[in-house]
């Protein structure tokens, strides 16, 4: 038997490090239901928008999507829904850049079949029982689609090839950035167009939450920081629901309102609707239907960017970002030209912008748990000593002794 090459060993080690820690139940679902046949057999759920599909997926379902260059956030959402398999009409890795989604799916043990073609949306209906085996999708005994079954090895090879096209994507990204500068220079330089809000931000920290990369873990690590500094809590669309899930009420919700729940919109937070540059704001109608008031913020930037620009313009002394995009691959992984605004926004607010992971590493509570325990213990000893050394102690000592003997009598009766 041939020894594995060093390259293969290093690739396996990298995959092991990237593989998320998943519950045993998720790994079992990846093998599908036990119907005596190979592959994954389950109900098919279809939607051309992955974000909409994840709202109705049930554990074990087969997700049928149409998502070129599957991004990391969408893949993590599919994993959290505990899907049995993913069937993609389009290539999950087109080769334009090394996108992060397919690696997450295969590392989670979820079968991924790529490039099956759009006909599957005609041949299947919502809820149809299908079987995904190797590179084929069956309805009964009929093959309704056939594509490419992705494995950790094929995904890693595709990512290596995609890195070669990264320079071209970077050039396009820079060109989009220059176009954005021409359109939004007044907003970026002078803050022209930033609406007035009622939420008091001046002189406070602002915590901006996007339901993106590792947002749950980041919010959990920031609990001591939130408790001590009490920053303004700003949820970007679904980020408002993330705050509610963590037990916090958002002070402000910013976004186009397409992925935030009614519960969040009616939680009492101030609402800022992201509008197009010409003033059209499709999300405003939904807000009004819920009986809520809102202000609009017209800009061609992304919603997370206008939240940062708003916090900066209103005087936030520090902006802590949760779940936002932080590097070049993540910018490209968003998959749209509008991400050009992200780079320039970070240049504008960079002096006060901190990623949540940096805060959790640098921040430590001013009072440690041990110090607090010793403080409480010392106060208890001091109070007890003061009581027993005073005339009040002469009255309390017999009473406490009676209580103690009664407790011992009760405890002895439990074992006799």
pLDDT tens figures, 123-154:
999 999 999 999 999 999 999 999 999 999 99
Rounded Cα gap, residues 42 and 44, in angstroms = 6
Question: Residue 399: its pLDDT value, please?
Answer: 75
For residue 195, pLDDT over 60 is answered with yes
pLDDT (tens digit per residue) in 339-348: 556 767 777 8
Question: Residue 241: its pLDDT value, please?
Answer: 95
Lowest mean pLDDT among 205-209, 308-312, 329-333: 329-333
Question: Residue 7: its pLDDT value, please?
Answer: 42
Question: Residue 185: its pLDDT value, please?
Answer: 63
**CA–CA distances in Å: residue 367 to residues 86, 311, 360, 378, 382:** 48, 29, 16, 15, 21
Name the pairing type of β-strands 112-114 and 85-88.
parallel
Residues in the chain: 416
Residue 415 DSSP one-character state: T
For residue 391, pLDDT over 90 is answered with no
Q: Would you call 94 exposed, middle or buried from its count of C-beta atoms within 10 A (0-12, 13-18, 19+)?
A: middle
Rounded Cα gap, residues 34 and 36, in angstroms = 6
For residue 326, pLDDT over 70 is answered with no
**CA–CA distances in Å: residue 198 to residues 204, 255, 309, 314:** 14, 17, 16, 10
Question: Residue 150: its pLDDT value, please?
Answer: 95
Rounded Cα gap, residues 59 and 42, in angstroms = 10
Who has greater pLDDT, 395 or 196? 196
DSSP sequence for 117-156: -TTHHHH--TT-EEEEETTEEEETTEEEEE-EEE-HHHHH
Lowest mean pLDDT among 44-58, 172-186, 266-280: 172-186
Question: Residue 244: its pLDDT value, please?
Answer: 96
Are 320 and 352 spatial neighbours (Cβ–Cβ below 8 Å)? Answer: no
Looking at 3.40.250.10, 3.20.20.140, 3.40.50.300, 3.50.30.10, the CATH number of the domain 6-150 comes to 3.50.30.10
Q: What are phi and psi of 140, to 5 degrees?
A: 70, -125
Residue 289 DSSP one-character state: H
When pLDDT is averaged across residues 364-383 and rounded to a whole number, the result is 67
Global pTM reads 0.59
Residue 385 CB neighbour total at 10 angstroms: 11
Helix (H, G, I), strand (E, B) or coil at 62: strand
Among candidate residues 57, 23, 303, 80, the one with its CA nearest the CA of residue 213 = 80
DSSP sequence for 224-271: HHHHHH--EEEEETTHHHHHHHTT---SEEEE-SSS--HHHHTSS-EE
Who has greater pLDDT, 359 or 243? 243
Question: Residue 18: its pLDDT value, please?
Answer: 44
Question: Residue 371: its pLDDT value, please?
Answer: 66
Residue for token pair 């490090």:
17
pLDDT category, 355, cuts 50, 70, 90? confident
pLDDT category, 358, cuts 50, 70, 90? low
Are 321 and 210 spatial neighbours (Cβ–Cβ below 8 Å)? Answer: yes
Rounded to 10 degrees, what is the CA torsion of 190, 195, 200, 203?
A: -10
Lowest mean pLDDT among 123-132, 191-200, 387-396: 387-396
pLDDT category, 325, cuts 50, 70, 90? low
pLDDT (tens digit per residue) in 145-189: 999 999 999 999 988 887 776 666 666 666 666 666 666 666 665
pLDDT category, 110, cuts 50, 70, 90? very high
Question: Residue 250: its pLDDT value, please?
Answer: 96
Among candidate residues 212, 220, 199, the one with its CA nearest the CA of residue 268 = 199
Residue spans in the chain of domains classed CATH 3.50.30.10: 6-150
């Amino acid at each position: 038997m041939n020894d594995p090459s060093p390259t293969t060993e290093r690739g396996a080690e990298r995959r092991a490090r990237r593989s998320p820690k998943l519950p045993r139940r998720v790994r079992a679902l990846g093998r599908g239901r036990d119907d005596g046949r190979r592959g994954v057999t389950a109900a098919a759920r279809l939607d051309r928008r992955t974000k909409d599909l994840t709202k109705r997926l049930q554990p074990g379902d087969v997700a049928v999507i149409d998502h070129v260059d599957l991004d990391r956030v969408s893949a993590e959402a599919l994993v959290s829904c505990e899907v049995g398999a993913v069937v993609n009409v389009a290539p999950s890795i087109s080769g334009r850049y090394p996108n992060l989604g397919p690696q997450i799916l295969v590392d989670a043990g979820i079968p991924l079949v790529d490039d099956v073609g759009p006909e599957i949306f005609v041949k299947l209906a919502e809820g149809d029982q299908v079987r995904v085996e190797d590179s084929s999708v069956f309805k009964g005994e009929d093959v309704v689609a056939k594509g490419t079954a992705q494995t950790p090895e094929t995904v890693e090879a595709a990512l290596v090839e995609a890195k070669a096209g990264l320079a071209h994507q970077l050039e396009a990204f820079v060109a989009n950035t220059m176009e954005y500068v021409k359109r939004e220079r007044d907003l970026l330089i002078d803050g022209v167009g930033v609406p007035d809000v009622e939420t008091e931000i001046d002189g406070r920290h602002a915590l901006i939450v996007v339901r993106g990369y590792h947002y749950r873990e980041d919010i959990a690590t920031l609990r001591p920081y939130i408790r001590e500094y009490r920053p303004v809590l700003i949820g970007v669309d679904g980020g408002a629901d993330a705050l509610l899930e963590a037990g916090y009420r958002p002070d402000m919700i910013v976004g186009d309102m397409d992925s935030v729940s009614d519960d969040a919109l009616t939680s009492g937070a101030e609402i800022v609707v992201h509008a197009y540059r010409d003033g059209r704001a499709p999300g405003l109608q939904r807000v009004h239907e819920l009986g809520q008031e809102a202000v609009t913020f017209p800009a061609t930037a992304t919603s997370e960017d206008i939240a940062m620009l708003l916090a900066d313009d209103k005087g936030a002394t520090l902006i802590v970002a949760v779940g936002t995009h932080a590097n070049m691959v993540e910018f490209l992984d968003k998959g749209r030209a509008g991400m050009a605004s992200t780079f320039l926004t970070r240049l504008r607010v960079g002096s006060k912008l901190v990623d949540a992971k940096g805060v959790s590493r640098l921040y430590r509570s001013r009072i440690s748990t041990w110090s607090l325990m010793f403080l409480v213990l010392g106060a208890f000893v001091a109070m007890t000593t003061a009581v027993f050394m005073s005339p009040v102690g002469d009255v309390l000592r017999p009473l406490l002794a009676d209580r103690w003997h009664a407790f011992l009598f009760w405890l002895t009766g439990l074992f006799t």
